[in-house]
Structure 1
């Protein structure tokens, strides 16, 4: 696979000022989704930032610094975390997240032992592509709701002001992506957020109360120690064996609620890795290997469960940033992870970013969430999946309608398999039982290179 033209390649180190700016752009790209998940699930946003950053750094370490992927809060786990928290409190959700992370480790071990054929046959492009489309389109309502409605109100209240802010943000982002030249062409997301924020200030929808409170605490401090205490604040971590005993909250119910979602996020991970490989021009599933990337992803979720944050997953939003900017440096990704950790501890930073109106993040998300769905479509195209084949058409159609339609199976009063999890499971089952399995892989070179390459890579690792 030939390397695509890159402004900065995977191992390139940018100059300091570019490093900071480009890393901040990735921080902003992931921020809206990463913070939205804890808001929706009742977890701490600051802990989500810290767990996202530490999880990403662990991922980069496990993948030997060769995969420029950022990991943030997983939307696939929103409903399961809410259900697990209702059943056994936040500790129950954290135990479930830990178990889901272990599934990644088991899959990574099986790949190291047996190669990737079994996994690729279980989750071929005809299954993974539509599941990723479901993930992207499933987020579409989130982006539109953030854009159109007044936040913080249970009943949806349409706001022309908020929608105008979202559309202006989206327009600035698109203009920056297409028309900006030189270094500024690398910053469309950051430019869009800054421009949208400025317009939101004019429209009077930016809440600066928290910023003023943080600033007042800093300026009123009467010593250097007091200033440091006002600037740095410990997030509300929830640590196992310190704040709770995992054995007191683990249950079959928690396992059924949380663990099956790992199938969705593993499918998402494979799709992200394939898309990322296409964007960067390297086969990351071959080197450093799918086993390492899956292990890194699972490790990030385990770390989050130890801190009290939502489960992590590779972020299509940040892959979208890579595709737009052509900046593939892992050092930029690592810088964003460090910033995320720092911002989780700095009250003023959290206040400033938290003051960004949901409409601004909604405007950017319209583009970024759409890129996720388009990535799933691109996977079908790149692998030349023939939807003229009834088998492929049936599998993809069923996945899309069940996933986007929100179908669910009620297992018990408190346990259900719903949405993305259900669509992925049904897609896997249909692929296994319908005749003509070879048609699920399409005629594209990418899938074949992935399987062959991984076999070789695993053999080399074993040697």
Structure 2
């Protein structure tokens, strides 16, 4: 094992080390996971419950080979609100269950047909560009949370000071700390930022005081309507494209080809069944989280055991509102500070893919594919229900199929050859 990889996927650290490593992932996913139910009117505790259970289900289906965390999907916010307003929340949950079953059907098709067609559709120039899009497409979220997206930003602004202090603490921890502390820079940054926010009087503890110690999530069960399901299905195409990108990023960071082992059919099936489980219990659809991918890249801790414990923590929080309220009290600027680093690391991984694949941008074909994908993806272009990374992926694939190759071998190596060995893929991430 390379010195740059602290823990491989199957490595199980001691419990006292695993707890803070897992807490990093819990904090990284928490804000986005609870925001979706807040915006859609679903129960926050149920969202945490289905996030934890869905992640554990995904890990089981993929044979414990992929360190991915699943949380609430932002892509389904509009369909949930639309269907809930027209037919009621139960039918929105039914739409989520149906999406998960669509994933399962796609997984079966891939199991029968194989992934050879994906290797032809996704050359290195497209893969690298899409990874950049995933990271930079999330960038506005981190910048807004940090308070840096206002019309007039001042260093005298408390939110800005908190965000920058948190970012600085995380960067310094990742750069200068050694040993175990070097593996938890995100947690160190969040704790430092939280304490700084407390000193500045920017932490609202009212929810913590009011929350009960023990409580049961308010489970809601789905209802089904073809009209409601029809609203959800177009979004499933987008989230499937995002799933392909997320698995590619994870493959790149960990240094393994997850498309082939454990297989894309198993990753899609795990994602789909986690989404159906969420709908059955009253939670929003799930998706793999870029925030947690960023934690993997920065810490170089790829242990699936760490992810699994984070999922257990999320499940426990669903039954202990007091603890959930403490985590929820972390100010947005604190999370904004760390996400600036997390999302940037994902984008940097895409740039590394382009560089290490030896992409020749003097070739018009490569230049056009990358340019169009970056502008559509980062610019947030939308056509119908297809937008952002999903639209960029579709257009990039079409360009790859249409534009002529300068020479027979220029189509690029298959995915298996693109995933560098673990020791190479993680160096300098």
TM-score w.r.t. structure 2 length? Answer: 0.87
Deviation for aligned residue 1:125: 3.6
Distance 1:259 1:397 in 2: 26
Aligned with residue 247 of structure 1, among 209, 214, 225: 225
1:260 aligned to 2:242? Answer: no
For 1:303, the equivalent position in structure 2 comes to: 277
State the secondary structure of the residue aligned to 2:146: helix
CA deviation string 1:285-333 (max 9, x = no partner): 3332232222222222222222332322222322322232232222111
For 1:421, the equivalent position in structure 2 comes to: 390
CA deviation string 1:397-436 (max 9, x = no partner): 11221222232224xxxxx433333222222222222222
Instruction: Verify the 8 A CA contact 1:72 1:313 in the aligned structure 2.
Output: yes
Q: Are the structure 2 counterparts of residues 59 and 252 from structure 1 closer, same or farther at C-alpha, using a change threshold of 3 Å?
A: closer
Distance 1:149 1:354 in 2: 21
For 1:54, the equivalent position in structure 2 comes to: 53
Aligned with residue 232 of structure 1, among 188, 194, 214: 214
Q: Which runs of 5+ in 2 are unaligned?
A: 420-429
User: Aligned-pair RMSD on alpha carbons?
Assistant: 2.8
Q: Are the structure 2 counterparts of residues 439 and 147 from structure 1 closer, same or farther at C-alpha, using a change threshold of 3 Å?
A: farther
Q: Are the structure 2 counterparts of residues 118 and 299 from structure 1 closer, same or farther at C-alpha, using a change threshold of 3 Å?
A: same
Aligned with residue 166 of structure 1, among 157, 163, 167: 163
1:341 aligned to 2:315? Answer: yes
Deviation for aligned residue 1:233: 1.7
For 2:121, the equivalent position in structure 1 comes to: 122
Q: Which runs of 5+ in 1 are unaligned?
A: 215-229, 411-415, 451-463
1:361 aligned to 2:335? Answer: yes
Distance 2:247 2:288 in 1: 10
Question: Which runs of structure 2 are paired with 1:314-463 in the superposition (5 Å)?
Answer: 314-410=288-384, 416-436=385-405, 441-442=411-412, 447-448=416-417
Q: Greater shift after overlay, 316-325 or 247-256?
A: 247-256
Distance 1:33 1:403 in 2: 20
Distance 2:390 2:82 in 1: 14
Q: Are the structure 2 counterparts of residues 251 and 324 from structure 1 closer, same or farther at C-alpha, using a change threshold of 3 Å?
A: closer
Q: Are the structure 2 counterparts of residues 66 and 402 from structure 1 closer, same or farther at C-alpha, using a change threshold of 3 Å?
A: closer
Instruction: Verify the 8 A CA contact 2:93 2:221 in the aligned structure 1.
Output: no
CA deviation string 1:134-154 (max 9, x = no partner): 23222211111111179xxxx
1:200 aligned to 2:197? Answer: yes
